[in-house]
Amino acid sequence: MSQAILKVEGITKTFPGVKALDNVSFDIRPGEVHALVGENGAGKSTLMKTLAGLHRCDGGEIFYQGAPLSLSGPLDARRKGILLIHQELSLSPELSVAENIYLGAWQTNRFGMLKKRELRRNATTALEALGCGFGPDVRLGTLSVAMQQMVEIARAEAFSANVVIFDEPTASLTDSEKDQLFQTIRGLKARGVGIVYISHKMDEIFDITDRITVLRDGQVQGTVDTADTDLNQITRMMIGRTLDAYFVKAKAEFGDEVLRVEGLSKRGLFSDASFSVRQGEVLGLYGLVGAGRSELVETVFGVRRADAGRLFWKGREIDWPTPRQSIDMGMALVPESRKEQGLVLMMGGRENTSLPHLRRFSDLTVMNRAREMAVYEKYRSALSIKTTGPDQAVSQLSGGNQQKFVLAKWLCAEPGLIILDEPTRGIDVGSKSAIHELIADLAEQGLAVIVISSEMPEVLGVSHRVLAMSEGSIVAEFKGDAMTEEHLIDSVSHAREPVAAE
Amino acid sequence: MSLTSTDIRSGSHLRIGLSWLLRNHIWVFLALTVAVFSLASPYFLTANNIGNILTQGAFIGILAIGMTMVMIDGEIDLSVGATLALASALAIGLQTHIGIWPAVFVGLLSGAALGFLNGTLVALSGMHSFIVTLGGLIGIRGLVFVYTGENALMVPDFSYTEIPEIYLGPISMTAIIFFGLAFFFQWILSSTRHGRETYAVGDNIEAAHDAGINVKRHKIINFTLCGTLAAVCGILLSMRLGTAEPNAGRIWELWTIIAVVLGGTRLQGGFGSMWMTIGGVLTLAVLRNGLRLLNTPNYVELMVMGAVLILALVLDKLLKRQEAT
């Protein structure tokens, strides 16, 4: 067993009111991929930010190559050979690939001019070592997300990194891009680089990592060899219980049809989509990112106008609604990106909950706080949302609690149909199952529910019926026993192949 | 912000008060400037001078109320100075033709119409309001010159200038109108649907749109309010001066923005209040008045004001950082 390249001993980091890291110890050996898992808020981000020089810890020590490490900032960490690859890439789209690799660490000559030729040569070497199919002069913004990620990884070569930390690297990659990334990671590993791999996706963790460290509430629950463990053990360590109670499906008692869509098309986004959903039914919509799922439901909701198609609401054909009309009709859309579309972050939970229903909570035009407060309290306790008060800015809440407020906001309209777009993306396991239970509850109360998800177990676990979407078309429908992961993958990948061959 | 939440838990009134002050630090700043000038000049802290400050501040103040609405929306209106000049010119110029009150009404209407036009252009074209109202600033000023023939217009009957000469102690009618409007708009912000929408649109326009708020109509309303308030300011100014100069209100839009930002309302929208704006307006007025009492040359005054603005913004940033950790 080789000596650890980076060793963390008993570090502690406190933010006001929260102990983000509590006496955390772990180590990274050269040539290993070490997974860091835990629910949101368990302290993963804080830990890696501390390693990458973005935070300073309050107590404990970090040893790097045998000596105590102190970092003045992220650039210092990079120069010393510790590289953090963010989930949201930290690159500048207007600069060239070479300039991005050396972002902030450009070598200059004595007049302060960039040493362009040297920059370019070094960048080329780094890119070639990774086998990237593009050169150093390309403007970064023209590359795909996966390629941009390669540019970040090229920094590992350029700075001869000894430790590379990946934060949710596959979040926005397709399957083939993911395979490529894994190859790159294995390449780094073969050269003796120590790798920290942070992810929510358990299959990836079991695929690529050698050891797993589990964090919960800022404390290390344990480190295990990946080969000696299984999903159940890890989950138990993460949340203190097993996966069995993970998915709850609503009873299959359906009422009248709520929404029917026929031949909906929008050029460049989706074509000829038809489906319907009934009271008490959970309809799953599965597809990879970019398959047109979100665009489809947004169009039904009225965010954009379709080119063709017909819409029936409770059996009657209707004109294309605006979002306001959809809401009034009893439709609710819970969007995928909470921050961009769902919540007003500077406002508190109370104001966010009432935002789509201001008319209901106001007399003439004056807000009625008592009525607003009563409804806020009702949904806060029904969804067991944790806040310090009705006016605590939602930006301070955890991802799970934010998502619950997004739900509260739409539920308080008492809609007939609720569309949930990736309802559990980026939230912790505990909140996830709370939301799954909620979906089942809603359906049993007679709501029609549409759930969009790119997580197969989730979409199969909560839905009565699943539509598979690919390249803008609904390619298959499964129900009952036909609802299996194999079928779903099959339907989606067959539709993709001819396109990929072009 | 997390500071606020922990405070509430610990239940200490003192600390809640402290966190209110952190968010409304302009009042601390105001108290400080008042203290400094009181010590520096014996004429400063007199009822008469305070009355003067309030009246002088009221003009920028009325503009600042509309600007605050627009700025919480995440927009800006650079055309308020020119709009006030037009409203003042119309209110005086038309008096010989249609009488005093109809002329005043037309002046008000012109402000509302220009605000509506600004808002419509911003909402429908998708251009940034900085550009749209920059065009307004130049274009409307041109219109004023055309209308006045580049001359100052005089009121035909000087009884017009006596209309606002009503005092409540040392406080003028103009100042009372300013405070009245400020309180009214604070109430709109904190207690009405429109106010709630203003914050939502400014902080997260997508979320507001998805929540069914008619964002375009909403913005047009706030720009119209801003234009109307500019006209109110212009008319009060014409009453005070008895003349309408084509150059009236030049660079007042800048003073207005400075007052609002000084108060703590954020340029990027979603955050602010009339309390902050009143604080900003008063601080600005106190500074100008105090420096003049000390016979500070005009250019030094400008330098001091510039420095104060930067200082206030640095303070704001520091406080925000402290709140964030």
pLDDT tops 80 at residue A249: no
Say what the pLDDT of residue A231 is: 80
| pLDDT tens column, A118-137 | 888 888 888 888 878 888 88
> If pLDDT is split at 50, 70 and 90, which confidence band does B6 have?
very low
> Range(s) for CATH 3.40.50.300 in chain A?
6-241, 247-330+417-424+450-502
Q: How far apart are CA B132 and CA B130, in angstroms?
A: 6
Which residues in chain A are closer than 8 Å to B1, comparing Cβ atoms?
392-393, 395-396
Q: Give the CA count within 13 Å in the CB-facing half-sphere of A163.
A: 23
Query: Chain A closest CA to B189's CA: distance in Å?
Result: 10
CATH class in words for A6-241: alpha beta
Angle subtended by helix axes B274-293 and B252-263, to nearest 10: 120
First to last CA, chain B: 9
Residue type, B285: A
Question: Do the interacting molecules here have an ipTM over 0.85?
Answer: no
Q: What is the mean pLDDT of residues B54-58?
A: 94
pLDDT at res. A340: 62
Tell if the CB–CB gap between B203 and A344 is shorter than 8 Å.
yes
Radius of gyration of chain B (CA): 20
3-state helix, strand, coil in chain A (%, to 5): 40, 25, 35
- The predicted model gives B107-124 an average pLDDT of 96
Strands of A219-225's sheet in order across: A82-85, A163-167, A194-198, A33-37, A211-216, A219-225
pLDDT tens for B8-38 read: 444 567 777 777 777 778 888 899 899 999 9
| CA of A491 vs chain B CAs: smallest distance (Å) | 32
**What pLDDT shows up at residue B88?**
96
Do B270 and A356 lie within an 8 Å CB cutoff?
no
Mean pLDDT value across chain A: 84
Q: Does the CB of A392 have a partner CB in chain B at under 8 Å?
A: yes
Task: Say which residue the tokens 């809640």 belong to.
Answer: B16
What ranges make up the beta strands (E) of A279-329? 282-286, 308-313, 316-318
Residue A30 confidence class, pLDDT cut points 50, 70, 90: very high
Q: For residues A12 and A387, give the distance between their C-alpha atoms in angstroms, rounded to a whole number.
A: 24
Cβ contact, residue pair A335, B271, below 8 Å: no
Question: One-letter amino acid identity for B175?
Answer: A
- The answer to whether the beta carbons of residues B254 and B246 sit under 8 Å apart is no
What pLDDT does A499 receive?
A: 39
* Calpha distance A80→B175 (Å, rounded): 62
**At a CB cut-off of 8 Å and minimum separation 6, what does B89 contact?**
B144, B147, B148, B153, B238, B244, B246, B248
What pLDDT, on a 0 to 100 scale, did the predictor assign at position B7? 40
A-contacting residues of B 55-84, CB under 8 Å?
none
Residues of B in contact with A402 (CB under 8 A): none
pLDDT in the model for residue A160: 84
- Measure Cα distances from A302 to A283, A298, A314, A320 in Å: 19, 6, 17, 7
Per-residue pLDDT reduced to its tens digit, B236-278: 999 999 999 999 999 899 999 999 998 989 888 888 999 999 9
Of B267, B265, B285, nearest to B65 (Cα)? B265
What are B257's two structure tokens?
A: 């923005």
Q: Average pLDDT in the A266-290 region? A: 88
Residue-wise pLDDT for A56-112, tens only, equals 888 888 899 888 888 888 888 888 889 888 877 778 888 888 888 888 777 777 777
Cα(A419)–Cα(A281) distance, rounded to whole angstroms?
A: 12
pLDDT digits (tens, 9 = 90+) for A306-360: 888 899 999 899 888 888 888 888 998 888 766 666 788 888 889 998 888 888 8
Q: Tell how far CA A457 is from the center of its chain.
A: 16
The Cα A358–Cα B213 span in angstroms is 9
B137-170 pLDDT tens trace: 999 999 999 999 989 999 988 889 888 888 988 8
Say whether residue B322 is in contact with chain A using an 8 A CB cutoff: no
Given B191, B204, B325, which is nearest A366 (Cβ)? B191
Task: For chain B, give the mean pLDDT.
Answer: 89
> CA A136 from chain center: how many Å?
30
Comparison of pLDDT for A12 and A500, the residue scoring more? A12
Residue type, B156: P
CA torsion sign for A137, A147, A41, A60 is negative
Distances, alpha carbon A365 to alpha carbons A455, B33, B77, B186, B189, in Å = 43, 39, 25, 14, 11
The verdict on B2 touching A (C-beta cutoff 8 Å) is yes
Cβ-based neighbours of A65, under 8 Å, separated by 6 or more = A5, A6, A162
Which tokens hold the place of B105?
A: 């009404």
Q: Which domains does chain B have, with CATH numbers?
A: 38-324 (1.10.3470)
Specify the CATH number of the domain A247-330+417-424+450-502: 3.40.50.300
Torsion angle defined by CA atoms of residues A89, A92, A93 and A99, in that order, rounded to the nearest 10 degrees: -110
By the 8 A CB rule, do B66 and B229 touch?
yes
Output Rg (C-alpha) for chain A, integer angstroms: 25
Bridge partners, A477 (sequence order): A467
Please, what is the Cα angle at A66 between A65 and A72, to 5 degrees?
65
